[in-house]
Amino acid sequence: MIVPMKKYAFLVYHADYEAFLQKVREIGVVQVVESGNETTDTIQERYVLSSRISDLVRMLKARKQEPRAPEKAVDGIELINRLQELKSEQEKLTHHIAALNKEIAQAEPWGDFSPQLLSSIAKAGYKARFFSCPERKFDESWNSGYYISEISRKQSIIYFVLFQEKDQVADIDAEEMRIPEHSVNELLEHRLDIRKKLAETGRELDEMAALYLPDLEKAKTRVLSDAQYESVLLNTLREADDKLMILNGFVPETGETVLKSWLDETGYVYYTERPVPDDHPPVLLKNSRFAKLFEPIGSLFSLPSYNELDLTPFFAPFFMMFFGFCMGDVGYGLLLVLVGIFMKKRVAPAIRPFLTLAVYLGIATMFFGVVTGTIAGFEMEKIPMFGALKGRMRSDQQIFYLALAIGLFQILFGLGIQAYSKYKQFGFAYAVSPLGIIIGVLALLDIALIKQGGIISKIFLYISLGMIVLWSDPNLGIFGRLGKGVWDLYGIITGIFGDTLSYIRLFALGASSGILGFVINSISLPLLDSIPVLGPILFVIVMVVGHGANLMLAGLGSFVHPMRLTFVEFYKNAGFIGGGKKYKPFSKNES
C-alpha cells in the first residue's frame, strides 16, 4: 500500500530559521518541496566530492578487509586525497603492466638479444633485419644467398634475423618485424618492478580499507547531508522583506507524531492539509513482509503514482507462481531454497531480503516441479521413491492449458483492480467499462467452453457489450460514447486475446528447461558404464557443468519473462499509471 501523506507549510522568523531547519533535519520525516532550482558553487562542489567518495568507498569495499580501529584520527580531506592518489597510481601501474605484457609478447620470439650488439654491428657497416614467416613459405635457398640466423619457431612461424650490408638489396618474401627496443629479460625485470610497486600500493589500500572505510562512509553521508541542507536553505521561500521564511513539505501520516509534538511544544506556526493530485506527493510503500520482497522488482518499472493503488501485493503471488512455472524442477527449486537459507546469515543485511525471495521462488519451483513431474531433468514417475506421486503429474497439454488459464485469470484480476481503482478515484461510472469486459469474457468462456449458463450467458454477453460501448468514456455525449466504445471494443477483443496468448511463454520456458535437463542426463548417464574409472568422474563433471548452465539460463528466463508479463499484460489491464517519485526525507542520513 501507499502510505498517506500530509502537506505541511511552516512559517518561521528568519532569525530562528537555521535552528528550525537543523531540528527538522534531525527529526528526518519531512520531504522538502524546494521553491526553485537555485544552486551555488559550494553545493555543486559537495555533490562532486560525494561522488568521489562513493567511488573510493566502492574501491575499498572490493578489497574485503577485516575492519580495525585506527590508532589516531586523520584529516578527512587528506585521507580522500591520499586515496585518490593511490587509486590513480594503481590504475597507472595496471595500464603500464598491460602495455609491458604486449611488448613482452612481441619481444619473446627474439629471445634475450642485446640492442648494444646490434648497434655495434651497424657501426661495422652491417644491418640486422628481423623477419617472420610461416614454415611452409620459408625458402631454404635464402640460407645460401644471405646471412640468416633462425631465432625461434612458435606456432608454425619461423622468426629469423637477416644480416646484410647497408647497400645490399634482399629479396625475401617474409614479413619484416619491428626491432624490439628492449630484450625480453629487461622487459621481464621491468614488469617485476612494476608489480612490486603495484603490490605496495595494494597493501596500503588494504590498510586504509581496514582502518578508514566506516569513516569514509560517514563522510559521504555528511557531505550529501550538508549539500542538501544548503540547497534547502537557498531555495526556501522568503516573504515580508526576507523576514518570514516559508518551507513546504510532505510528511507520511505514520511519521507525524514526533514532528507535531515538537512543533506544538516550540510554538512554530504550521499548517497541514491533505495533498491534491497536482501537488505530486512522494510515494512511500508499506507492505507485508512477503510483498515487501517484491518491491525492488516493481521499482524496476516505476513506482505507482500517489493517487493509485500499489500493485506490489497483487502481482507478488503471480510473479512467484510464474517463476516456478518457468523453471518447474524439484531439484533446481531445492537448490535455490538450500542456497538461500545457507547464505542468508553470511551476507550483509541489505542482501538478505533477496535471499529470502530466492527461497520463496525455490518453493514455487519445487511445487511446479511436482506438477510437471521433473527433478533435475529426470521424470519423477520413473524414480521408485516417488512412486506415490505416479499418475498425479500433469501432461504437456494440461500444462499448456494451465498456463493460458492462469494468464486469463491474471488479466481478469487486473481488470477488477482497474475497476476498483477507477471507482475509488472517479466514481462508479468510470468502473463500468472494465467490469463489462470481465463479464463479457466470462460469458464467452461459458458459451464456448463450459456451456453451463445457456441463455443467461448470452444475456450477460449483450449486457457487457452495452457496458463497454456506452461507458467507454463517461465524459463524452451519447454519440461520442458510441463511436469511442465501438472503436475501443475492437482493441479490447484483440488485446485480451493477444495478452492471454502471451502466457504461453510460461509453458514454453518450462518445457525448454526440462528438455535441456533431459539432454544433459542423456549425455552424462552413458558415461558411467562406457568408460572405466574415468566414467564416474566425467559423469559428475557433465552433470554439474550442464545443470549449472541450465540452471543459470532457466533462472534468467524465469525472472525476465514473469517481469514482462507483470509490467506489460498485468499492469496494462490493471490501469497502472506509474511515475511516482520516491519519498526522500530531509535528514542527516541522506544517502
* Three-class secondary structure of residue 482 per DSSP: helix
111 near 151, Cβ under 8 Å? yes
Q: Confirm if 79 and 212 have CB atoms less than 8 A apart.
A: yes
Mean pLDDT of the chain: 86
Q: Contact, 221 vs 127, CB < 8 A?
A: no
Q: Which amino acid is at 556?
A: L
Quote the cell numbers at residue 322: 510464474
**CB-based burial label for 172 (10 Å; 0-12, 13-18, 19+):** middle
Residue 174, pLDDT > 60, answer yes
- In whole angstroms, give the CA distance from residue 61 to residue 68: 14
C-alpha 54/C-alpha 87 separation (Å) is 13
Is 260:80 a contact under the CB 8 Å cutoff?
no
The Cα–Cα gap between 227 and 482 comes to 56
The answer on pLDDT for 54 being more than 90 is: no
User: What is the enclosing helix (H) or strand (E) of 168?
Assistant: none
Q: Check if the beta carbon of residue 104 is closer than 8 Å to that of residue 188.
A: yes
Could you tell me which residue, 572 or 37, shows the higher pLDDT? 572
Bridge partners for 5 per DSSP = 252
Angle between helices 184-234 and 76-107 (to 10 degrees): 150
Is residue 318 within 8 A of residue 410, CB to CB? The reply is yes
Quick check: 21 pLDDT over 80? yes
Please name which of 279, 328, 325 lies closest in space to residue 305, comparing C-alpha atoms. Answer: 279
Kindly report which listed range (38-42, 150-154, 369-373) carries the lowest average pLDDT score. 38-42
198 with 90: CB under 8 angstroms? yes
- pLDDT mean over 37-56: 83
The contacts found for 69-76 with CB under 8 angstroms, 24 or more apart, are 69/211, 70/211, 70/212, 70/215, 74/212, 74/215, 76/215, 76/219
C-alpha cell, 295:
518491491
pLDDT tens digits, 259-294: 999 998 888 898 999 988 788 899 999 999 999 999
Q: Delimit the domains of the chain by residue range.
A: 5-74+203-279, 114-179, 289-394+508-573
Pairwise CA distance, residues 214 & 79, whole Å? 13
User: In this model, does residue 390 exceed pLDDT 60?
Assistant: no
- pLDDT tens string 345-365: 888 888 899 999 999 999 999
What is the rounded distance in angstroms from the CA atom of residue 588 to the CA atom of residue 224?
A: 9
What pLDDT is recorded for position 563? Answer: 92
**Cα 170 to chain center, whole Å?**
61
pLDDT computed for residue 591 by the predictor? 47
Arithmetic mean of pLDDT, 378-386: 73
Question: pLDDT per residue over 229-249, tens digit each?
Answer: 888 888 788 888 888 989 899
Give the HSE-up count for residue 138: Cα atoms under 13 Å, Cβ half-sphere.
17
What is the distance between the alpha carbons of residues 13 and 18, in angstroms, rounded to a whole number? Answer: 10
| 532 backbone dihedrals φ, ψ, rounded to 5° | -65, 145
